[in-house]
Chains A and B, each alone.
Chain A
Amino acid sequence: MTRRLAPRFALLLVAIGGLALVPLWVSNPYVLSVLTLAALYAIFASSWDILSGYIGQLNFGHAVFFGAGAYTTGFLGPHLPPLLVFPAGAAAAVVFAFLVGLPCLKLRGPYLSLTTLVFPLILERLAFTFRDVSGGEYGITVSSPLSAIGLYYASLGLLLATLGILLAVAESRIGRTFRAIGDDDQAAMAAGVNTTRFKLSAFVLGAGLAGLGGVLYAYHIRHVGPEIFGLFTSFSIVIMGIVGGMGTILGPALGAYFLTLLGESLREFETYRQLIYAAVMILCVMLFPQGLWGLGRALHRLLPRSGAAKDAR
């Protein structure tokens, strides 16, 4: 449906273009670093959405995939040129997509979500146990081949590619099949869909993109440790997806920017930071159940129809 796709691509290009211009005005390295982090979280949240938002398999363990990419960077970074670290990180994430995906295929709803929740916790334990390799709780120090500004543009580029690929897939016949499986997987089977293959494909696609993001994340943080598999990391991706608007690809990316920037801008409130953050989150979910993306769409519908503004849905 190019009808829906064209305005989204246009919006995406404008947004990324705008973000690309930010360093021309802002030279504060802290701001740049936060924006890089937001772009990376946007990659994680949107790649989470293809499985969770479209097929409806709420995944609480997306950290496994970008964590695999990040640890791969820690392990291989000193030995391989960066251009090879990226495919290696994606490959590691894809291996985990099969490890997590296969047992999850038979599960549905809360059983599936609980199972996905367990995987990052297992990896967190493993990182503590095999400290000779993983550095235990200290993790591994990573040296970045890129400057801060290089990292900023690399993450923007990867975000653009990620969102472009995911949007194209989501609005294709494959994406509609994903949604059909999410609506009713038995009916999808009756329509001749090999639901197992489609679910695994969504796991693999989401994981691969998250793995690439994980490599950049490790370069950006200059470190990888077991906290990447912590409960908070996995939950924050789910929250970004829900606050942004599940099943829309661009929504979760928007949610990632919103919550990352909100979290950082609240630093001056110190003690109350978590409290305010949580309150804003709850308000978002209560007031805009369709997420920020749904809110934007509702506002858009209120605008008078003019020019290219015909994208009603």
Chain B
Amino acid sequence: MTALLAVEDVTKRFRGLTALSRVSFNVARGEILVVIGPNGAGKTTLFNVITGFARPDEGRIALEGKAVTGLPPHAVVRLGLARTFQIPRPFKSLTVGETVDMARASKAGTVVRALGHGGVVERVLRLVQLWERRDEEAGTLSQGDLKLLEVARALATNPALLLLDEPYAGLGPAEMARLTRVILDLHGAGLTLIIIEHKLRELMKFAQRVVVLHYGEKIADGAPTEVARDPRVLQAYMGGRRNPAYA
């Protein structure tokens, strides 16, 4: 069986800096992959390259065996690969409901159909608990709600694979728990996820596999417990003194 997403030898350079250096990994359908790494390790660049926001200098990216390398972002989205941004990017002149409606694909996909009832907008907004606030202006939401609106907007496009860029950053404990529930619900509905995080702690509950990036190179790829014991990973995080699971 081919992988849902195949990233092969992807290299991305910015002027002299190599942000990604021959990074390869596969993501199987239904998997939750967590990408961790210190600041500047190339995590967001990896997302940008996968989702068409940046063009890789070398390497190939394929979704269900179809090449997506070099496609513009909207075309990548239509093939079933959606993303959120690390710092929420709401549409300030739209309401919460209009935001999701605007991103909505013409037909609900299997993941969205597995969620609750009603139209796409209602299903998606109920999942992230923003349905009651659908008529509020998107710009007025709290940071935590904005993060969930990012997820809702991405979901409305019917992704087979959802990429979340530091979804937990800037959230309080209650909001974190809410987000975790959303992620688990989506996973239960059959969605495949790649999640970028700094810290593993919140994700240890459900991460199935962890890829560690360090200075643009993949230095570890495996089960969370294995990765957390990997000497190269320990070295990369805090000079080896601390375990990334608890950093």
Contact = CB atoms under 8 A, between A and B. Distances in A.
Main secondary structure of the interface of A (DSSP, over half): helix
A184 interface: yes
Nearest 6 A/B pairs, CB to CB: A191-B103, A192-B77, A187-B89, A189-B73, A180-B91, A183-B91
Give the bracket for the number of chain B residues in contact with chain A: 20 to 34
A191 B153 contact: yes
Contacts of A189: 53, 72-74, 77
Given A177-B102, A180-B102, A183-B93, 18 more contacts: A176-B94, A176-B98, A176-B101, A182-B93, A183-B91, A184-B91, A187-B153, A188-B91, A189-B74, A190-B85, A191-B102, A191-B103, A191-B153, A191-B154, A191-B156, A193-B102, A193-B103, A194-B75
B92 interface: yes
B105 to A, nearest CB: 7
Interface residues of A, number: 20
A173 B91 contact: no
Contacts of B84: 190
B154 to A, nearest CB: 7
A29 B90 CA distance: 52
Contacts of A220: none
Contact of A191 (B53, B72, B77, B93): B77
A193 B94 contact: no
Nearest to B158: A192
B51 interface: yes
Q: Among A179, A188, A190, A194, which residue has the most Cβ atoms of chain B within 10 A?
A: A190
B64 to A, nearest CB: 17
Interface of A: 173, 176-177, 179-180, 182-184, 186-196, 247
B157 interface: yes
Given A173-B102, A176-B98, A192 B74 contact: yes
Contacts of A194: 72, 74-75
A186 B78 contact: no
A35 B72 CA distance: 47
24 contacts: A173-B101, A176-B101, A177-B102, A179-B91, A180-B91, A183-B90, A184-B89, A184-B90, A186-B53, A187-B89, A187-B153, A189-B73, A190-B84, A190-B85, A190-B153, A191-B77, A191-B99, A191-B102, A191-B157, A192-B74, A192-B82, A193-B74, A194-B72, A194-B74
B138 to A, nearest CB: 9
Nearest to A197: B74
